[in-house]
Amino acid sequence: RTANIGVVGLAVMGANLARNLASREGNTVAVLNRSRGRTDALVSEHPEAGFVPAYSYEEFAASLAKPRTAIIMVQAGAATDATIDALVEVFEPGDIIVDGGNAYFPDTIRRERAVRETGINFVGAGISGGEEGALNGPSIMPGGSDESWVTLGPILKSIAAVAEGEPCVTHVGHDGAGHFVKMVHNGIEYADMQLIAEAYDLIRRGTGKSPAEIAEIFAEWNRGELESYLIEITAEVLRQNDAATGEPLVDVILDQAGAKGTGAWTVQTALSLGVPVSGIAEATFARSLSSHPEQREAARDLPGPSTATPVDDEIAFVEDVRQALYASKIVAYSQGFDEIRAGAAEYGWNIDLGAISKIWRGGCIIRAQFLNRIAEAYAEQPELPLLMAAPYFADALGRGQEAWRRVVVHATNAGIPAPAFSSSLAYYDGLRAERLPAALVQGQRDFFGAHTYRRVDRAGSFHTLWSGDRSEVEA
């Protein structure tokens, strides 16, 4: 039989994506895996899907209608390169290879360039939503050529999540644009998760409430402006008791956070682009800090605050934390969208930020009510220079900033680490400031390295003769 789409790599994400594809009208799906066992298992467990199994790349290519379209769902890195090489051997000009993994966007740019030489199209597509999203509808962020989008667009639209009646997929931009945007999505995901974790920690340590009680608070928050997948699952995690000990599960999970690298890529890329994504950076560093048990052990006896910081009014405190969370979340998204804009400028991608906010409304891990507000902000002003200054967000920050300050003060006084809350607030105040001590930094740079400075009152570059008579010269 002839398939119109194929999937290579049948681990959970690949298998679920293949089942999703097969469940849509008009699709026949060819499947291929490195080991035969997985292919057979998938085909026999899901007869309803009508899969076309292939046991070699030749067979796989022969089972696909032209232009052949295949989605690779294998480990990022060497496994992806090997799979691409194998497909290039059996595919023909005009065919399309889609990498649906979490590839690092410079790799995608490199692969696209190399594959293009053969006349085959290569599309790096970010896919978010975990196993469940892959099966029932993910958010999809494809890059690649306009030509491949013609064939691929309808297929991806058929399997994507739907938000407000629109499929959560758009042609993000050429070559690595899709994986770039997926990378930033993950960076925002890190920030969002860390902010929620800080909120939980502040409430727990401030009020002594149990995880199950805090779960109720999150469930309540999920009915308001914070409504999102991550808040929802946080309540579920906090509600869970460990079967073995009867303790809250969160108390028996080792407090060392893992990371597969996408958060670090987001921060590394932001550093080279000169975009301050401080919330994402703090979230990434917080995971690293947690994962150094030897240093945490060595620091255990360092002194903390000498007096206790009691929370007098628990209800007011919880509300303050909620507002601090919302404000910090606005900052994290604002920073993330800045990085996308800077990346687009650097790599020559024409990325519609409003369209990105729309495809994140459903299917992905950071899906949230809030993304509707971002979509509205970009609809009103497509060239918005700073998301957090858009009227809706400026207003929300204005309402929340006093609470945000109280929470950061409480965290500081109580010795509770809240790196994402406090760095987001510092970013907010930094951008707001009329004058920054950056002027002094420029003076210092000029002093030791004659790096020159510009003046507020005259054009040009200047240098003070620090080791001479300290007069100023034009550089």
Could you list the active site residues? 182, 189
Binding status of residue 16 toward ligand 6PG by CB under 6 A = no
- Cite the annotated binding site for NADP(+) by residue number: 9-14, 33-35, 74-76, 102
Burial class (CB in 10 A: 0-12, 13-18, 19+), 424: buried
Q: Residue 139 Cβ, how far from ligand 6PG at the closest point, in Å? A: 8
End-to-end CA distance of the chain: give it in Å, rounded: 74
CA angle 436, 397, 391 (to 5 degrees): 100
Q: Are 121 and 97 in contact (CB under 8 A)?
A: yes
CA gap 212, 198 in Å, rounded: 16
Cβ 280 vs Cβ 336: under 8 Å: yes
Known binding residues are 9-14, 33-35, 74-76, 102, 128-130, 185-186, 190, 260, 287, 445, 451
Q: Which segment (127-135, 155-163, 316-324, 466-474) binds ligand 6PG by CB under 6 A?
A: 127-135
Q: CB of 138: closest distance to ligand 6PG in angstroms?
A: 7
The interface region with ligand 6PG, picked from 104-112, 260-268, 303-311, 313-321 by CB under 6 A, is 260-268
Q: Does 284 bind ligand 6PG (CB under 6 A)?
A: no
Q: Which of 93, 258, 274, 304 binds ligand 6PG (CB under 6 A)?
A: 258
Spatial separation of the C-alpha atoms in residues 343 and 242, rounded to whole Å: 44
Residue count, binding to ligand 6PG (CB under 6 A): 13
Annotated binding site for substrate: 102, 128-130, 185-186, 190, 260, 287, 445, 451
Minimum distance of ligand 6PG from residue 420's CB (angstroms): 15
Which C-beta is closer to ligand 6PG: that of 6 or that of 138? 138
Among residues 28, 80, 194, 262, which is the contact residue for ligand 6PG, using CB under 6 A? 262
C-alpha to C-alpha distance for 166 and 156, rounded to whole angstroms: 12
Rule CB under 6 A: choose which of 233, 259, 289, 431 binds ligand 6PG. Answer: 259
* 260 near ligand 6PG, rule: CB under 6 A: yes
How far apart are CB 293 and ligand 6PG at their closest, in Å? 19
How far apart CA 226 and CA 230 sit, in angstroms, is 10
Instruction: Determine how β-strand 69-72 pairs with β-strand 52-53.
Output: unpaired
What's the one-letter identity of residue 61?
Answer: A
Q: Which segments of 121-232 are extended strands (E)?
A: 121-128, 139-142, 162-163, 166-167
Nearer to ligand 6PG, 13 or 351 (CB): 13
Give pairs for 288-292: CB < 8 Å, separation 24+. 288/259, 290/255, 290/256, 290/257, 291/256, 291/257, 291/258
CA nearest neighbour of 266 among 258, 257, 275, 254: 275
Query: Interface mask (CB under 6 A) for ligand 6PG, residues 342-371, using x and -?
Result: ----------------------xx------
The distance from CA 46 to its chain's CA centroid, rounded to whole angstroms, is 32
Report the residue number whose CB is nearest to ligand 6PG. Answer: 128
Does the protein bind ligand 6PG through residue 102 (CB under 6 A)? yes
11 in contact with ligand 6PG (CB under 6 A): no
Taking CB under 6 A as the rule, which mask of x and - marks residues 28-67 in contact with ligand 6PG?
A: ----------------------------------------
Cis peptide before 138 (omega within 30 of 0): no
Our CB check for ligand 6PG shows the closer of 138 and 173 to be 138
Residue span binding ligand 6PG (CB under 6 A) among the ranges 115-123, 257-265, 380-388, 453-461: 257-265
Burial 209-219 (b: 16+ CB within 10 A, else e): bebeebbebbb
Q: Which stretch binds ligand 6PG (CB under 6 A): 73-81, 203-211, 254-262, 271-279?
A: 254-262
Query: Does 228 sit near ligand 6PG (CB under 6 A)?
Result: no
Three-state SS for 30? strand
Residues 170-209 that bind ligand 6PG (CB under 6 A): 186, 189
* 129 lines the binding site for ligand 6PG (CB under 6 A): yes
Residue (270 or 364) nearer to ligand 6PG, CB: 364
What distance in Å separates the CA atoms of residue 240 and residue 248, rounded to the nearest whole number? 6
Q: Which two tokens stand for residue 309?
A: 């910081």
Return the number of the residue (181 or 374) whose C-beta is nearest ligand 6PG. 181
CA–CA–CA angle 227, 328, 410 (5° rounding): 110
- Position 237 contacts ligand 6PG (CB under 6 A): no
Give me 167's structure tokens. Answer: 């499929």
Other beta carbons within 10 angstroms of residue 408's beta carbon come to: 20
Q: Is the dihedral of CA 92, 93, 98, 102 positive or negative?
A: positive
Segment interacting with ligand 6PG (CB under 6 A) among 18-26, 52-60, 124-132, 383-391: 124-132
| 181 and 266 Cβ atoms separated by less than 8 Å | no
Check: CB of residue 171 under 8 Å from CB of residue 142. yes
Binding positions for ligand 6PG, rule: CB under 6 A: 102, 128-130, 186, 189, 258-260, 262-263, 364-365
